[in-house]
Amino acid sequence: MAGPPVTFLVMAKRRPLPFDPVEEAARQWSNHFGADAAVQPMRAVTSLMRVQQIVLSRLDEILRRYDLTFARYEALVLLTFTRTGALPLGKMGERLQIHPTSVTSIVRRLERDGLVRRLPHPEDGRGVLAEVTEEGRAVVAATTKELVAIRFGLDPLDDESLATVHELLTRIRHSAGDFI
């Protein structure tokens, strides 16, 4: 198994700062660029990026025990959600919103680990299906149980706050053309 990501090591070894670095950055930003120079968006995006690091670190801590990344976990979950447990690689890329090369890499790794198998597409001679194995289903069940226990790293937030976060982020995703 691979070692922990660098962000986890940094987070695990450092002590909390005696001040909020995002608020200090906002203060400095305002001093250098003026109070009207997008202080609020800068503060929000800086907080968002830091929270992403924190959440990914917490998720990686669990997923690492199963030799998974979040991308591989998402692919396995997607396959378990399908009626047959299989999808064409192109369809996986669309649904996961990732490049076809990334899908191929993810599926290869999952196949190597015995969590999926690649099969010829029954209707498209050039196409390939990824099918989740029983071992893959067992890994999804075990990892999901652990991720749910920490509320996917968002356990400090109650359900109402989570719904608000989701609504706000959905607006940004929709505006960016993530979905119709």
Give the Cα separation of 70 and 141 in Å (integer).
14
Is 60 exceeded by the pLDDT of residue 12?
no
Of all residues in the chain, the percent with pLDDT exceeding 90 is 85
Cβ contacts of 1 within 8 Å, gap of 6 or more: 64, 65, 67
- Rounded CA-CA distance 133/121 in Å is 17
Confidence of residue 13 (pLDDT cuts 50, 70, 90): low
3-state helix, strand, coil split of the chain in percent (to 5) is 65, 5, 25
Type of residue found at 116: V
pLDDT of residue 54: 94
Confidence (pTM) = 0.84
- Asked if the model's pLDDT at residue 62 lies above 50, the reply is yes
When mean pLDDT is compared across 34-38, 113-117, 118-122, the lowest value belongs to 34-38
Tokens 């987070």 sit at which residue?
A: 11
CA distances from 51 to 25, 65, 156, 180 (A): 16, 22, 12, 27
